[in-house]
């Protein structure tokens, strides 16, 4: 079974705190993604990574950074959390290549910033 796990299901932080969301996949996938999910807006891509130490900005990277030191782990960092970053965060992984590559999702982290 493909498994994508996220470090927390629910997280409550205060404005200005540094927040780390971690994602681990066990299927040796090259690609990893961080999305933000908000009602009526669907999934919006924050950052993605094709390989270790590589990262690419998605549609809404402002206020976020990422780290990929190992192939199986992709971290999302909120340098200084703000209330408008309250949201559901989804991690996903997929194989690399031009053929179809289904994305496998983690359970999500619901982050509340007070």
Partner 1 sequence: AQTVTQSQPEMSVQEAETVTLSCTYDTSENNYYLFWYKQPPSRQMILVIRQEAYKQQNATENRFSVNFQKAAKSFSLKISDSQLGDTAMYFCALNTGNQFYFGTGTSLTVIP
Q: Are 106 and 6 in contact (CB under 8 A)?
A: yes
Euclidean distance between CA atoms 106 and 97, whole angstroms: 21
Among 87, 65, 94, CA closest to 78: 65
In the complex, the smallest distance separating the C-beta of residue 94 from partner 1, rounded to whole angstroms, is 7
Stretch that binds partner 1, among 11-19, 31-39, 62-70, 71-79 (CB under 8 A): 31-39
Euclidean distance between CA atoms 42 and 53, whole angstroms: 28
Q: Are 84 and 77 in contact (CB under 8 A)?
A: no
In the complex, the smallest distance separating the C-beta of residue 23 from partner 1, rounded to whole angstroms, is 13
Which one, 81 or 90, has the nearer CB to partner 1?
Answer: 90
In the complex, the smallest distance separating the C-beta of residue 103 from partner 1, rounded to whole angstroms, is 6
Please pick, from the candidates 8, 22, 77, 108, the single residue that binds partner 1 as defined by CB under 8 A: 108
Across 95-113, b (16+ Cβ under 10 Å) vs e yields: eeeeeeeebbbbebbebeb
In the complex, the smallest distance separating the C-beta of residue 5 from partner 1, rounded to whole angstroms, is 10
Binding site for partner 1 (CB under 8 A): 31, 33, 35, 40-43, 45, 48, 50, 90, 92, 94, 96-98, 100-103, 105-108
């Amino acid at each position: 079974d493909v498994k994508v796990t996220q470090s927390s299901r629910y997280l409550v932080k205060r404005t200005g705190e540094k927040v780390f969301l971690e994602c681990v996949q066990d299927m040796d996938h090259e690609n990893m993604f961080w999305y933000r999910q908000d009602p009526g807006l669907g999934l919006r891509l924050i950052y993605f990574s094709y390989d270790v130490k590589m990262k690419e900005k998605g549609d809404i990277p402002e206020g976020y950074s990422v780290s990929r030191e190992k192939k199986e782990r992709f971290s999302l960092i909120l340098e200084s959390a703000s209330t408008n970053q309250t949201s559901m965060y989804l991690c996903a992984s997929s194989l690399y290549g031009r053929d179809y590559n289904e994305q496998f999702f983690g359970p999500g982290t619901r982050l509340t910033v007070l």
